[in-house]
């Protein structure tokens, strides 16, 4: 049914062309009607269309848009294409059974902006009559970035150095995704780790077994629903019994985002998000702060743990890191009101705690990732994920390990003079 022209040798120079031929037949029209839901009788009903000035059925105009998408995505420029816009001008109707040639020609390549301007046409293969013409703007996505060479700090870790040796970390929301990556990284850097879960008990216990097998000196999985204030004190007590009084607290509890407009949402949804974000950190800090203050003054860490002195021999104090989102730093998506308000409240709480707890040698910081490759985001359409990745100067999404490295840095003595900051792990999106 279709014939593809040979791709140009230098597809991104001005003047480069590509084309293919196909037949816009009844089967294609029917598939498009099913896909789009557009069953206007002018396209699908012979009797109706015969009584119109067209004298018979014509194909949907937007089939041309779909064919241009094929041209751009498959041939010019191909797999690195990210469609930005397409203008269309319909010059003549397309009858069912018409063989057409879909053509594209690059009229401008702006290398600095990685932008192609492409003239697009659909012409009748039989006589060359132009049926549809337009202009496409196409962004060239960056090539996948090679894995970076290990930085000196990473090389030191690989050689066995452990900046968090002797520390005791409580990771709230540590059973999967970003939280699980944080638990792994803190354990890799020498910390004993207690992590909490709400429903994923099997995953949490499997992760603890993995940490222990990897050399972590102590690991424990604790059940905690962060929306229930009464559960924090028992969870903190269980953590003290398992690993000693935590001197590192990481708050990485997240729920599913409720996409609701303000008209359709309820204040109860906002309250639920607030409890999960700012409320959870609030109660977690209350539960672990007495132990952190004792650690700052060199007192005993309690059962299961060493004292507060770390690898440097200096008094430890404490570190609190909360995981938020860059949604607080840029225009939020429509329908994310409850989530955005809760994350903004979390950011305000972190700043306030940093000011209050600094005199007690307890640092409080925030890490705000951009879209991160987790189960939730990998379920999004590939085009949505590609569009977001293209916004980053580094040309990709964050990985859970990127967030974990930032959290581990803020938890270590290397960040001893950092408190009250919001560190965007966003590949330059909010630069």
Asked whether residue 300 is domain-assigned, the answer is yes
Looking at per-residue pLDDT, the higher value among 1 and 367 belongs to 367
Question: Does the structure show a pLDDT above 50 at 169?
Answer: yes
Mean pLDDT calculated for residue range 369-375: 79
CATH of the domain at 36: 3.10.129.10
Does the structure show a pLDDT above 80 at 92?
yes
Alpha-carbon distance values, 186 to 21, 22, 107, 177, 254 (Å): 57, 57, 52, 15, 19
| Mean of all residue pLDDT scores within the chain | 85
**Within a domain: 371:** yes
Pick from 214, 222, 225: which is nearest to 242 by CA? 222
Pair (404, 281) in one structural domain: yes
Q: Please name every residue paired with 130 in a beta bridge, in sequence order, or none if there are none.
A: 123
pLDDT for res 280: 93
CB atoms within 10 A of CB 156: 13
Say whether pTM exceeds 0.75: no
Average pLDDT over residues 353-373: 90
Write the CATH number for 277. Answer: 3.40.50.720
> 90 with 222, same domain?
no
Region 142-152: mean pLDDT is 57
Position 157 pLDDT exceeds 80: no
If asked whether residues 113 and 262 sit together in one domain, one would say no
Percentage above 70 pLDDT, the chain: 84
- Radius of gyration of the chain from Cα atoms? 29
How are beta strands 219-223 and 248-251 bridged, if at all? unpaired
Sign of CA dihedral 284, 314, 240, 204: positive
Q: For the ranges 39-53, 223-237, 391-405, which has the lowest average pLDDT?
A: 391-405
33 and 179 share a domain? no
146 belongs to a structural domain: no
For residue 431, tell me if it sits in a domain.
no
CA atoms of 411 and 320, how far apart (whole Å): 7
Total tally of structural domains belonging to the chain? 2
Residues 39 and 68 in one domain: yes
Average pLDDT over residues 361-365: 95
Whether residue 144 has pLDDT greater than 90: no
Same domain flag for 116 and 205? no
- Residues 89, 173 within the same domain: no
Indicate whether 358 and 380 sit together in one domain: yes
Q: Is residue 145 part of a domain?
A: no
Answer yes or no: is pLDDT of 243 > 50: yes
**Looking at the structure, do residues 421 and 310 belong to the same domain, yes or no?**
yes
Q: How far apart are CA 119 and CA 402, in angstroms?
A: 40
Inside any domain, residue 73: yes
Which of 57-71, 217-231, 314-328 has the least mean pLDDT?
314-328
- Boundary of a domain, candidates 140, 163, 181: 140
Question: What is the span of the domain harbouring residue 394?
Answer: 152-425
Residue 177 lies in a domain: yes
* Average pLDDT value for residue range 99-109: 93
Same domain, 400 and 285: yes
Kindly state whether residue 344 falls inside one of the protein's structural domains: yes
pLDDT at 297 over 90: no
Q: What mean pLDDT comes out for the span 322-351?
A: 87
**Domain final position from 140, 167, 185:** 140
pLDDT over 80 at 324, yes or no:
yes
Domain end call among 140, 161, 196: 140
Task: Please state whether beta strands 17-24 and 3-4 pair in parallel, antiparallel, or not at all (unpaired).
Answer: antiparallel
Same domain, yes or no, for 127 and 157?
A: no
| CA–centroid distance for 86 within its chain | 27
Is residue 304 located within the same domain as residue 404? yes
pLDDT greater than 60 at residue 302? no
| Catalytic residue IDs | 339
Residue 298's pLDDT is 60
Percent of the chain with pLDDT over 90: 55
Q: Are strands 130-140 and 115-124 parallel, antiparallel or unpaired?
A: antiparallel
């Amino acid at each position: 049914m279709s014939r593809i022209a040979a791709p140009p040798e230098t597809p991104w120079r001005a003047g480069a062309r590509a084309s293919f031929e196909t037949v816009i037949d009844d089967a294609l029209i029917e598939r498009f009607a099913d896909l789009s839901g557009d069953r206007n009788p002018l396209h699908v009903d012979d009797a109706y269309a015969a009584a119109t000035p067209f004298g018979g059925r014509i194909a949907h105009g937007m089939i041309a848009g779909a064919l241009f998408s094929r041209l751009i995505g498959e041939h010019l420029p191909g797999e690195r294409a990210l469609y930005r816009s397409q203008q269309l001008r319909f010059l003549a109707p397309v009858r069912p059974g018409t063989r057409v040639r879909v053509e594209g020609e690059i009229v401008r390549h702006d290398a600095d902006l990685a932008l192609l301007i492409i003239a697009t046409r659909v012409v009748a293969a039989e006589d060359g009559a132009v049926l549809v013409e337009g202009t496409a703007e196409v962004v060239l996505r960056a090539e996948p970035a090679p894995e970076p060479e290990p930085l000196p700090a990473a090389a030191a870790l690989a050689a066995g150095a452990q900046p968090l040796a002797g520390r005791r970390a409580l990771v709230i929301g540590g059973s999967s995704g970003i939280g699980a990556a944080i638990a792994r990284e803190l354990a890799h850097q020498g910390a004993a780790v207690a992590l909490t879960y709400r429903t994923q008990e099997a995953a949490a216990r499997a992760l603890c077994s993995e940490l222990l097998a990897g050399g972590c000196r102590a690991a424990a999985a604790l059940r905690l629903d962060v929306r229930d204030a009464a559960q924090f004190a028992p969870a903190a007590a269980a953590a003290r019994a398992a690993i000693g009084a935590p001197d590192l607290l990481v708050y990485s509890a997240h729920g599913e985002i409720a996409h609701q407009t303000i008209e359709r949402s309820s204040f109860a949804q906002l309250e639920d998000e607030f409890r999960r974000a700012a409320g959870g950190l609030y109660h977690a800090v209350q539960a672990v702060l007495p132990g952190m203050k004792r650690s700052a003054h060199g007192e005993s860490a309690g059962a299961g743990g060493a004292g507060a002195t770390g690898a440097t021999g200096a008094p430890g104090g404490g570190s609190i890191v909360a995981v938020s989102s860059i949604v607080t730093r840029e225009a939020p998506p429509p329908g994310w009101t409850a989530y955005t308000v809760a994350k903004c409240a979390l950011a305000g709480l972190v700043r306030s705690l940093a000011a209050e707890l600094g005199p007690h040698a307890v640092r409080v910081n925030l890490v705000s990732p951009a879209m991160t490759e987790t189960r939730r985001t990998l379920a999004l359409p590939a085009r949505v994920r590609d569009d977001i990745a293209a916004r980053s100067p580094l040309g990709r999404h964050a990985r859970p390990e990127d967030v974990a490295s930032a959290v581990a840095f803020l938890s270590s003595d290397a960040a001893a003079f950092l408190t009250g900051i919001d560190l965007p792990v966003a590949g330059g999106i909010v630069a």
